[in-house]
Amino acid sequence: MKDFRELLDRDGIHVIDGAMGTMLYAKGVYINRCYDELNISNPDLVREIHGEYVRAGAEIIETNTFGATAHNLNQYGLEGNLREINISAARIANQAAGDKAYVAGAIGPLGLRIEPYGPTSYDEAKDLFKAQAEALLEGGVDLFCIETFSDISELRQAIRAVRELSDLPIIAQITIQIDGNTSFGTTPEVFTARLDEWGADVVGLNCGVGPAIILNALEKMRAVTKKKLSAQPNAGLPRDVQGRQFYMCSPEYMSKFAKRFIQSGARFIGGCCGTTPAHIKLISDAVRAASPRAQSMVMSTGAAAHVHDITPPDIKVIPPAERSQWSRKITNGEFVTSVEVLPPKGVDAHKTLESIRLLKTAGVDGVNIPDGARAQSRMSALATAVLVEQQIGIESVLHYCCRDRNLLGMMSDLLGAAALGLRNLLIITGDPPKMGPYPDATAVFDIDAIGLTNMVNKLNHGLDLGNNPIGEPTAFCIGVGVNPGAINPEEELRRFEYKVEAGAQYAITQPVFDTDQLRDFIKSIEHVRIPIIAGIWPLVSFRNAEFMHNEVPGVRVTPSIMERMRAASAISKEAGRDEGLKIARESLLEVRDIIQGVQVSAPFGNVKYALEVFEALDEFRGLEDSNILPPN
Convert the pLDDT of each residue in 551-607 to its tens digit.
776 788 999 999 999 999 999 999 999 999 999 999 999 999 999 999 999 887 888
pLDDT band at 378 (very low <50, low <70, confident <90, very high): confident
Give the DSSP per-residue string, 129-193.
HHHHHHHHHHHT-SEEEEEEES-HHHHHHHHHHHHHH----EEEEE---TTSS-TT---HHHHHH
Residues facing 366 on adjacent strands:
338, 395
Which DSSP symbol is given to 74? H
DSSP state of 513: S
- Give mean pLDDT, residues 448-463: 89
pLDDT tier, 436 (very low <50, low <70, confident <90, very high otherwise): very low
Provide mean pLDDT across the span 518-536: 95
pLDDT, tens only, 25-79: 889 888 788 999 999 999 999 999 999 999 999 999 999 999 999 999 999 999 9
HSE of 305 in the Cβ direction (CA atoms, 13 Å)? 10
The residues of the chain that CATH labels 3.20.20.330 are 4-297
Residue 438 has pLDDT above 90, yes or no: no
Beta strands in 363-434 (DSSP E): 366-369, 395-401, 424-428
DSSP-assigned states of every residue in 455-487: HHHHHHTTB-TTS-B-SSPP--EEEEEE-TT-S
| The CATH number fitting domain 317-537+596-616, selected from 3.20.20.220, 3.40.50.970, 3.30.1180.20, 3.30.70.20 | 3.20.20.220
For residues 322 and 490, the model is more confident at 322
Peptide bond into 116 cis (omega under 30): yes
pLDDT of residue 619: 78
Q: State the alpha helices, DSSP H only, in 211-270.
A: 211-222, 251-263
Q: Please, which pLDDT band fits residue 257 given cuts at 50, 70 and 90?
A: confident
Please tell me which residue, 107 or 284, carries the higher pLDDT value.
107
The pLDDT value recorded for residue 297 is 33
Average pLDDT over residues 427-438: 66
| pLDDT for res 373 | 58
Q: Tens digit of pLDDT for each residue in 180-229?
A: 999 888 899 999 999 999 999 999 999 988 888 999 999 999 999 999 99
pLDDT of residue 244 exceeding 60, the answer is: no
Question: Which H or E run includes 337?
Answer: strand 336-340
Nearest to 18 by CA among 52, 47, 65: 52
Cis peptide before 473 (omega within 30 of 0): no
Helix (H) or strand (E) holding 162: helix 152-165
Contact 211, 257 (CB under 8 A): yes
Between CA 129 and CA 144 the distance in angstroms is: 12
CA distance 228 to 260: 15
pLDDT at 629 over 70: no
Residues 6+ apart with CB under 8 A from 28: none
| pLDDT tens by residue, 281-325 | 999 988 876 654 433 333 333 334 445 555 667 788 999 999 999
pLDDT of the residue at 220: 94
Mean pLDDT of the chain: 88
CA quadruple 34, 69, 61, 6: dihedral, nearest 10: -170
Lowest mean pLDDT among 372-376, 433-437, 510-514, 584-588: 433-437
What sign for the dihedral angle of Cα 40, 41, 42, 46? negative
Dihedral of CA 399/405/410/412: which sign? Answer: negative
**Residues, the chain, total?**
632
What are the beta bridge partners of residue 451? Answer: none
d(CA 460, CA 346): 33
The CA distance from 531 to 23, in Å, is: 51
Q: Please give the CATH number for the structural domain made up of 4-297.
A: 3.20.20.330
Strand, coil or helix: what is 8?
helix
Q: Indicate the pLDDT class of residue 113, thresholds 50, 70 and 90.
A: confident
208 — alpha (psi -120 to 50), left (phi > 0) or beta? left
Average pLDDT of 366-385? 83
| Mean pLDDT on 15-19 | 95
Average pLDDT over residues 422-432: 88
pLDDT attached to residue 630: 52
Percentage above 90 pLDDT, the chain:
64
Q: Which one has a higher pLDDT value, 632 or 542?
A: 542
pLDDT band at residue 622 using 50, 70 and 90 as cut-offs: low
Q: How far apart are the first and last CA of the chain?
A: 68
Cα–Cα distance between 605 and 351 in angstroms, integer? 10
pLDDT of residue 306: 46
- Angstrom distance (rounded) from CA 599 to CA 282: 37
- In tens, the pLDDT along 263-281 reads 888 999 999 988 999 999 9
> What is the pLDDT at residue 627?
59
Proportion of the chain in helix, strand, coil states, percent, rounded to 5: 50, 15, 35
Domain with CATH 3.20.20.220 in the chain: 317-537+596-616
Question: What Rg do the C-alpha atoms of the chain give, in angstroms?
Answer: 28
Looking at residue 315, its pLDDT comes to: 83
Question: Where residue 2 falls among pLDDT bands split at 50, 70, 90?
Answer: low
* Torsion sign across C-alpha atoms 107, 110, 115, 120: negative
- Count Cα atoms within 13 angstroms, Cβ side, for 134: 11
